[in-house]
């Protein structure tokens, strides 16, 4: 892999990107790689270098790149038109499939991105309760809106529940509308909910926060305390929807919220996301039902477009087949166990955390399991960056923090990854010994 040099063509593309794009990238990954194509669980860059792909477009490609059934469905629809700004049969069918699959979903409203879905799901809760404040969890990611970019990754965490903006350009007044709680700490969270219950419009949570699973009972207790005080509970399932199970984290963990946001998998690699939830809350998207004062205005040029809808439907049909989730979980479990064992035998302090469809290694001396964002601050980020670089040089593509596992990953991909881990860990040990 690392014997193939970067081609002049790819170097020229990178140079152009540095001229026309801020930081030379789309804002997702560093711009030092340009991907040309993907098939199954593999991608190739513009220099022809091949990678086992655990990035999966940041998660949408759960059935693999260019799956023949998804591709055929999209191509057939493209020939008939790409978007209409009006209802189409495929978007209606996808909404029906989501309602059938997702426990909290009685109705669905489509948007184009996960950030939009998270913004609107919070707005829907505000419209329903006629309150303003939203409680989120420190380190929780809910897209790119002003409200969501509060205490996502504060470099100097302050005193909870005070929110800290994570981006320039956010009005200072926004912080007063958000309360921040520690993930997996139900006592602290319940205390905040009870203290602010008269002002809280909702509690929003990633049921599986980035790569941190909920501790046993946390989500159920969170459901109980929000129900006790009549506060809508929102699950951000942009990542976990149709990934941990066909019914998402709601099915996987057995806890049903009032609303959820969905994205990634439901668009089959095309721009599509959704808000789903109880009909009485979703009614605020219907002016005829709630009147002018309660109406939640939402318009999107590509919302529910038929190309994304048919790709999503095709992906869901594949995932519904017997054994699909068993395979994803078995692949992920094998990988997690293997990586944990290799690091332990090498004497490198680390924790492999997550769930089989989505996990990563955290290089840390922390002896207790990582439970929240502040535990994650113990991570040795320099070692993690070096390990990721070593893996990419050995033909493994992943994000800064996440191995996404797909239905397309094969036993050969697993073996290739395990061999790459062996080689990268040996190099990491040598570098540590050299000081």
Residues forming the active site: 141, 236, 264
Those residues whose C-beta lies under 8 Å from the C-beta of residue 290, and which sit 6 or more positions away, are 127, 283, 284
Concatenating the DSSP letter of every residue in 251-301 gives HHHT---SEEEE-GGGGTTSS-EEEEE-HHHHGGG-HHHHHHHH------T
| 259 contacts 275 by C-beta, under 8 angstroms | yes
Closest CA to 60 of 207, 271, 208: 271
Distance CA 81, CA 357 (A): 34
Helices (H), 21-154: 68-78, 89-101, 114-129
Q: Are 222 and 153 in contact (CB under 8 A)?
A: no
Query: CB of 183 within 8 A of CB of 151?
Result: no
Contacts of 233 (CB under 8 A, 6+ apart): 202, 203, 205, 222, 223, 226, 227, 257, 258, 259
DSSP string, 143-177: -SSTTTTBSSS-SS--STT---B-STT--GGGGGG
The H or E element spanning position 16 is helix 8-20
For residues 420 and 53, the answer to whether their CB atoms sit within 8 Å is no
What are 111's two structure tokens?
Answer: 């948007």
Quick one: which of 285, 264, 8 has its CA closest to 141? 264
Pairwise CA distance, residues 244 & 239, whole Å: 9
Q: What backbone phi and psi angles, to 5 degrees, belong to 397? A: -105, 125
Strand order in the sheet with 358-362: 351-355, 358-362, 403-404
DSSP per-residue letters across 193-218: HHHHTTTEEEEEE-SSBTTBPPPTTH
422 burial class (0-12, 13-18, 19+ CB within 10 angstroms)?
middle
**Would you call 132 helix, strand, or coil by DSSP?**
coil
What angle in degrees, to the nearest 10, is found between the helix axes of 186-196 and 218-228?
A: 10
Helix, coil or strand: residue 352 = strand
């Amino acid at each position: 892999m690392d014997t193939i040099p970067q081609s002049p063509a790819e170097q020229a593309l990178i140079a152009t990107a540095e001229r026309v794009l801020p930081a030379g990238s789309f804002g997702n990954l560093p711009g030092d790689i340009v991907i040309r194509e993907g098939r199954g669980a593999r991608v190739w860059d513009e220099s022809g270098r091949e990678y086992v792909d655990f990035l999966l477009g940041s998660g949408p490609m759960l059935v693999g790149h260019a799956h023949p059934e998804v591709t055929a469905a999209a191509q057939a629809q493209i020939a008939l038109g790409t978007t209409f700004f009006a209802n189409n049969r495929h978007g209606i069918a996808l909404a029906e499939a989501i309602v059938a699959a997702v426990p909290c979903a009685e109705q669905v409203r489509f948007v184009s991105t996960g950030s939009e879905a998270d913004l609107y799901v919070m707005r829907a809760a505000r419209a329903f309760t006629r309150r303003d404040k939203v409680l989120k969890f420190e380190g929780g990611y809910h897209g790119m809106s002003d409200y969501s970019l509060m205490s996502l990754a504060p470099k100097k965490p302050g005193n909870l529940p005070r929110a800290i903006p994570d981006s320039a350009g956010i009005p200072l007044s926004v912080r007063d509308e958000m309360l921040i709680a520690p993930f997996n700490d139900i006592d602290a969270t319940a205390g905040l909910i009870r203290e602010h219950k008269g002002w809280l419009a909702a509690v929003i949570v990633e049921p599986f926060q980035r790569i941190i699973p909920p501790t046993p009972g946390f989500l159920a207790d969170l459901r109980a305390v929000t129900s006790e005080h009549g506060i809508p509970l929102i699950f951000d399932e942009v990542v976990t929807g149709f990934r941990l199970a066909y019914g998402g984290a709601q099915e996987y963990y057995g806890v049903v919220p009032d609303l959820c946001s969905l994205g990634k998998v439901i668009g089959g690699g095309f721009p599509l996301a959704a808000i789903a939830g109880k009909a009485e809350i979703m009614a605020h998207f219907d002016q005829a039902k709630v009147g002018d004062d309660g109406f939640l205005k939402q318009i999107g040029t590509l919302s529910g477009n038929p190309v994304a809808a048919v790709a999503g439907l095709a992906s869901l049909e594949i995932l519904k087949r017997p054994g699909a989730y068993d395979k994803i979980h078995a692949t992920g479990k094998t990988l997690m166990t293997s990586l944990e064992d290799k690091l332990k035998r090498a004497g490198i302090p680390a924790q492999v955390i997550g769930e089989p469809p989505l996990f990563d290694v955290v290089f840390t001396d922390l002896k207790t399991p990582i439970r929240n964002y502040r535990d994650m601050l113990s991570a040795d980020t320099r070692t993690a960056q070096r390990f990721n670089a070593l893996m990419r040089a050995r033909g493994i593509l992943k994000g800064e923090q996440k191995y996404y596992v797909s239905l397309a990953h094969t036993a050969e991909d697993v073996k290739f990854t395990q061999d790459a881990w062996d080689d990268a860990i040996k190099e990491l040990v040598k570098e540590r010994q050299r000081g």
